[in-house]
Amino acid sequence: MADFSPIELMICAASEMLDDGAMVVVGTGAPCAAAMLAQKTSAPNLTLMFEAGGVGPLLPRMPISVGDSRTFYQGLMATSMADVMETCQRGLVDYTFLGGAQIDMYGNLNSTLIGDNYEQPKVRFPGSGGANDLGSLCWRVLVITPHDRRRFNERLDFITTPGYLDGPGARERAGLPPGSGPYKVITNMAVMGFDEESKRMQVESLHPGVTFSEVQENTGFELLVRAPLETTAAPDEAMLRILREEVDPHRYILGRG
């Protein structure tokens, strides 16, 4: 078996969830690395979109921001945030990657604050940006995040981006597109999805060497378990070589873990 780090496993696992021919809105960091890796391996016809207006680039190197000129390289369009968001609103975008300081059992995300006082929080984060729009309008939301109890909370201090809100039917009652919502959560310990009936987070595969009890200990709410519970496939040498040499040769992302 090839040697790999937790961040490499997370990126590789996320890349294999992106379908060839799909459209995905990505930001910088691990989500961008996952999309680039997919484009170079299993999904050559994947269309990448960036919030600042880059559509369909063939990224030569890892961009440092969503407005980096590299996000337009050999692209289909150099357009605007308004056009990207309109494309999501029209129901044409299959996937988006999001993150946050907190996530709950229904996939709701908090990237706004920590504390119970909005005016004087303990910590204030950047806020939504485009996250609420993307999480509301794209069909499948993917989250890549470290796994610890501070992030996986039973109750969020603030809901920045809706997941399944408070359970079945809640997104639809809020006026969001039926069938849209959180899809997968990829952490350094496991891959999780959401139960079709209850809309609660469930563990689908454990990373090699990780036990379910370890995952549950690092989660602030009770996790469901899909049967059969699988082991996350380890990336092979060819995928790791592309990730290390072509996607992130300067280790902007891989150097973190």
Rounded mean pLDDT of the chain?
Answer: 95
Mean pLDDT (whole number) for 195-224 = 98
Which pLDDT belongs to residue 50? 95
Same domain (yes/no): 154, 188: yes
Residues 254 and 169 in one domain: no
Kindly report, residue by residue over 117-159, the tens digit of the pLDDT: 999 999 999 999 999 999 999 999 999 999 999 999 999 999 9
Residue 61 has pLDDT above 90, yes or no: no
Q: What is the pLDDT, as a whole number, of residue 256?
A: 81
Its domain, for residue 102, covers 96-232
- State the average pLDDT over residues 45-57: 95
Tokens of 102: 């907190």
131 and 169 part of one domain = yes
Query: 246 and 228: one domain?
Result: no
Question: 38 pLDDT exceeds 70?
Answer: yes
Question: Which residue of the set 8, 16, 51, 154 is catalytic?
Answer: 51
Cβ-count burial of 244 within 10 angstroms (0-12 exposed, 13-18 middle, 19+ buried)?
A: middle
Q: Are residues 113 and 192 in the same domain?
A: yes
Q: Taking 80 as the threshold, does the pLDDT of residue 99 lie above it? A: yes
Reported as a single tens digit per residue, the pLDDT across 106-117 is 999 999 999 999
Which band of pLDDT confidence, cut at 50, 70 and 90, is reported for residue 1? Answer: low
CA distances from 213 to 62, 111, 203, 217, 224 (A): 36, 27, 11, 6, 12
pTM of the full predicted structure?
A: 0.95
Q: 205 with 138, same domain?
A: yes
Q: Are residues 223 and 103 in the same domain?
A: yes
What was the pLDDT predicted at 257? 67
The closest alpha carbon to 69, from 52, 44, 84, belongs to 52
Do 40 and 152 reside in the same domain of the chain?
Answer: no
**Residues 156-181: what's their mean pLDDT?**
97
Same domain? For 223 and 249 the reply is no
Q: Are residues 220 and 130 in the same domain?
A: yes
Indicate which CATH number applies to the domain containing 89.
3.40.1080.10
Tally the domains of the chain: 2
Shared domain check, 76 and 120: no
Cα 140 to Cα 194: distance, rounded to the nearest angstrom: 11
Rounded Cα distance, 169 and 179, in Å: 10
Nearest CA among 84, 83, 110, 113 for reference residue 98: 110
Q: Examine the residue annotation and report whether 51 is marked as an active-site residue of this protein.
A: yes
